[in-house]
Structure 1
Amino acid sequence: MTDHSANANNLSSNNLSTSAANTNSSAKIAIIGGGLSGLFTATLLERAIAQRPAQAHNEAEASNSVNAQHPQITIFEKSRSVGRLATRYRTDSLTNQNNWQWAFGAQFFTAKSDSFAQFIAPWLQSGSLQPWCAQVVELTPTDGNAEPIISKKEQWDTTHARYISSPKMTSWGRQLADNLTNSSLKFKTRVAPLSKEHHQSTDQKTELFDEFGASLGCFDWVICTIPNGQAIELLADSGFGKQAQISQAKMLACYTLMLGWDKVSMLPQTLQNSVAATTTPPVWDVAYPQQSILAKIFVEHQKPSHSELLPSVTIHANNDWSEAHVNDDLETIQAQLLVAAKQALNWNNDTAPSQVDCHRWRYAATVINKGEEGLGVLVDNDRHWIVSGDWCGQGNIESCYLMAEQVVEVVVAALSL
């Protein structure tokens, strides 16, 4: 069996079955996971399908590939919405407005590859995506009631841009979902673990079931885009040919603390920096705490197109600390993070936040050793199963896209699109 994992140069699918393309019905493709990896995969598949008729050299070729031009794509997502770019809100009881907002998942992303830069260009042109030219500092908490030591680190620029989705981090994922034309999304649907019996070798189809045992249908290709810890469980008894490689990736947890204040004037002095560049401490949007269990502090209401928000601050805990405490009670974790945040931001009773929330991400950061390129997508040719996700690359949003490119290359070649 040819190895189609890891690198783009070994993604050739010459020996893959093309029976799905030769049947009388359209190929059916299941994507497990409605995060950005799943959405990018569906989007690129649809684009490849749409481009095929224009590439046909004659009517006969177009007729022979008609069944492959319109595969039925179904995305199964266990939550109630698309994932990864997550936003949480808190409503003011007096105004009934979502006045506090926290991007409690990925705060931003980069586009270093030409293909991803081209992909996001339309959304940049429309303003749905915007560069975030944040002022970044290092923040060292001090003992007692003294102000933390803040020193400038860098300013992000448009040359090496960090992008955010506007007006919310969830907005782009929802736009990607809304723009799909030949794909259906099934929310609140948890796919049950696959077994060898689910795959019928005679016609290369796999029947999926939900957690209650109800059939979700039979599919020619199953593409798994969930975190590796979940993928291990999903495929543990399936006979997936690349099961060992899934376990090679190491993902760490992350706790997110979300804080809100009723007025800018009620912010602690450490955060009183949004009015003038001459204020002390220096103006900043992102802080890297030193000697702390906190990893990064983000000032939400100073982001582009966020000026109408009440003061909102998102704090990510250190990944190693989060992993060590991943199974701790969430209330206990929140209390510990509040102690660290109070030390970092130096508030008192009069400047304490009025809004507090905490979230646990069990699979947040992929451990990438220096010089490593990542696994690449993992393909089981016999079963027509593919395991993908950002953790197969560098563990970031751009990796979601690059892995989706690899998946589409395999599927398109197999279906003779």
Structure 2
Amino acid sequence: MTDHTLLSTDESLPKIAIIGGGLTGLLTATLLERAFIQSTDIQSTDQSSIPQITIFEKSRSVGRLATRYRTDSQTGKNWQWAFGAQFFTAKTPSFQQFIAPWLETDLLQPWCAEVVELTAANDNTESSDIQHKDEWGTAQARYISTPKMTSWGRALADDLQHTNIKFKTRVAPLAQYPQNQTDDKTELFDESGNSLGCFDWVICTAPNGQALELMAESGFTESANIAKPKMQACYTLMLGWDEVQSLPATLTSQTPSRWDVAYVNNSPLDRIFIEHQKPAHNDLLPSVTIHARNDWSETHVDDDIDTITEQLLQAAQHALHWDDETAPRQVDCHRWRYAATIVDNNEALGILVDPQHQWVVSGDWCGQGNIESCYQMAVETVQAIKQLT
């Protein structure tokens, strides 16, 4: 077990702000709480020793493991799309140990998907070519959250005992309003200039484009490094059908065999995921999530969303080969402006720490841009606070 000892019992506990309620923010709060509890052996009734952690989240929910659904008025059943991260891996022993409790409850489950390589049809071919590529097993498992990808983030938030989450609160850039210099604390403000309080530590877990805006002209000593990781966009297309019988043949188990994930060639599309075949998803109406290629998405990141939807629908039709009778009934499209982290030479940046101000800039983009990186950056943040407090 990693030693997260933070403070001795005779030291006062710092007041900590976390900007962003995504997985990095939630995991950071979780590990900070554990560190405080471990270092002080506090009891829940010992109010004087309870750490003061506040998460400021600009949206109305947490987790960033995004799920979208639509309910069919006739059947009452849902289409459901994991339109953000589809799965995650746990390659390090510490992260494997961390997620073990949720695996025991089946909130997290391995996804043993059948994976194919799909070369989309073009003007010279009538149907796509589908070839077996891989079978995801438990040796290097891919995990999903059930019944929705948002479920784990909400479980993490619910398990927090000493953290206050303030939703629909957008923190203003740190240099926008005069700072309260009392006791070397940082005063945060919302966009309207209302004070959000004074904090000993401020941890920013926003994507690096937003982190740059928050830290601009603030005196953050690591500002130049925020822009080093390059992030690309991603468009996600979400399709739904009334019943399995109305699916195009490319999505049925007979052509050529049952598959769950397709890596797509010869297309703006990158990967296709069949949602209703995932573990604990049997009650869903046929639902398919399609991620566009990151380079294509970045090139078209500012295009009109309706135009993008039309282009991706055309590409999906070439890949899945539907006609009027097998066309999807539900169509939706989402733009992720900051989706993929481009890591040069596989060298992760790591968290950025300003010891003088006691500010930390963190996020999955400081690592490999995946969910395990959220955990790793949370561990680094706790270690940094431990060393500097």
Q: Same fold (TM over 0.5)?
A: yes
Aligned position for 1:374? 348
SS in 2 for 1:189: coil
**What do residues 260-318 of structure 1 show as CA deviations (whole Å, max 9, x unaligned)?**
00000000000011xxxxx2312110001101100000000000000110100000000
Note if 1:351 corresponds to 2:326. yes
**What do residues 100-157 of structure 1 show as CA deviations (whole Å, max 9, x unaligned)?**
0000000000000111000000000110000000000000112357221000000000
Note if 1:85 corresponds to 2:60. no
Post-superposition offset of 1:200: 4.7
Aligned position for 1:296? 271
In the alignment, the residues of structure 2 paired with residue 154 and residue 299 of structure 1 have an alpha-carbon distance, to the nearest angstrom, of: 15
Give the paired residue count: 379
Post-superposition offset of 1:67: 9.8
Question: Mapping of 1:386-401 within 5 angstroms?
Answer: 386-401=360-375
Q: Is the 8 A contact 2:63 2:152 kept in 1?
A: no
In the alignment, the residues of structure 2 paired with residue 262 and residue 193 of structure 1 have an alpha-carbon distance, to the nearest angstrom, of: 46
Post-superposition offset of 1:197: 6.0
Q: Is the 8 A contact 1:135 1:283 kept in 2?
A: yes
Q: Is the 8 A contact 2:117 2:264 kept in 1?
A: yes
In the alignment, the residues of structure 1 paired with residue 344 and residue 356 of structure 2 have an alpha-carbon distance, to the nearest angstrom, of: 31
Post-superposition offset of 1:411: 1.4
- The one-letter code matched in structure 1 to 2:133 is K
Q: Is the 8 A contact 1:167 1:305 kept in 2?
A: yes
Q: Is the 8 A contact 2:114 2:134 kept in 1?
A: yes
Q: Structure 1 stretch 78-87 or stretch 346-355: which is displaced more?
A: 78-87
In the alignment, the residues of structure 1 paired with residue 48 and residue 216 of structure 2 have an alpha-carbon distance, to the nearest angstrom, of: 31
**What do residues 375-407 of structure 1 show as CA deviations (whole Å, max 9, x unaligned)?**
100000111100000000000000000000000
Note if 1:338 corresponds to 2:313. yes
Aligned position for 1:166? 146
In the alignment, the residues of structure 2 paired with residue 119 and residue 24 of structure 1 have an alpha-carbon distance, to the nearest angstrom, of: 28
Q: Is the 8 A contact 1:31 1:223 kept in 2?
A: yes
Question: Of the candidates 368, 381, 384, which is equivalent to residue 407 of structure 1?
Answer: 381
Question: Mapping of 1:233-252 within 5 angstroms?
Answer: 233-252=213-232
Post-superposition offset of 1:202: 5.3
Post-superposition offset of 1:234: 0.8
**Alignment CA distance shift 1:100-1:67 (3 Å):** closer
Post-superposition offset of 1:368: 1.3
Aligned position for 1:57? none
Percentage of pairs with the same residue: 65
Q: Is the 8 A contact 1:199 1:383 kept in 2?
A: no
**What do residues 25-47 of structure 1 show as CA deviations (whole Å, max 9, x unaligned)?**
64210000000000000000000
Aligned position for 2:37? 50
Post-superposition offset of 1:183: 0.1
Question: Of the candidates 140, 150, 154, which is equivalent to residue 119 of structure 2?
Answer: 140
In the alignment, the residues of structure 2 paired with residue 214 and residue 321 of structure 1 have an alpha-carbon distance, to the nearest angstrom, of: 40
Aligned position for 2:157? 177
SS in 2 for 1:255: strand
In the alignment, the residues of structure 1 paired with residue 122 and residue 337 of structure 2 have an alpha-carbon distance, to the nearest angstrom, of: 32
Question: Of the candidates 314, 326, 329, which is equivalent to residue 301 of structure 2?
Answer: 326
Note if 1:128 corresponds to 2:107. yes
Aligned position for 2:4? none
Aligned position for 2:3? none
In the alignment, the residues of structure 2 paired with residue 363 and residue 377 of structure 1 have an alpha-carbon distance, to the nearest angstrom, of: 18
- The one-letter code matched in structure 2 to 1:44 is L
User: TM-score scaled to structure 2, two decimals?
Assistant: 0.94
**What do residues 209-258 of structure 1 show as CA deviations (whole Å, max 9, x unaligned)?**
11111110010000000000000011112111000000111000000000
**Alignment CA distance shift 1:22-1:206 (3 Å):** farther
Aligned position for 1:119? 98
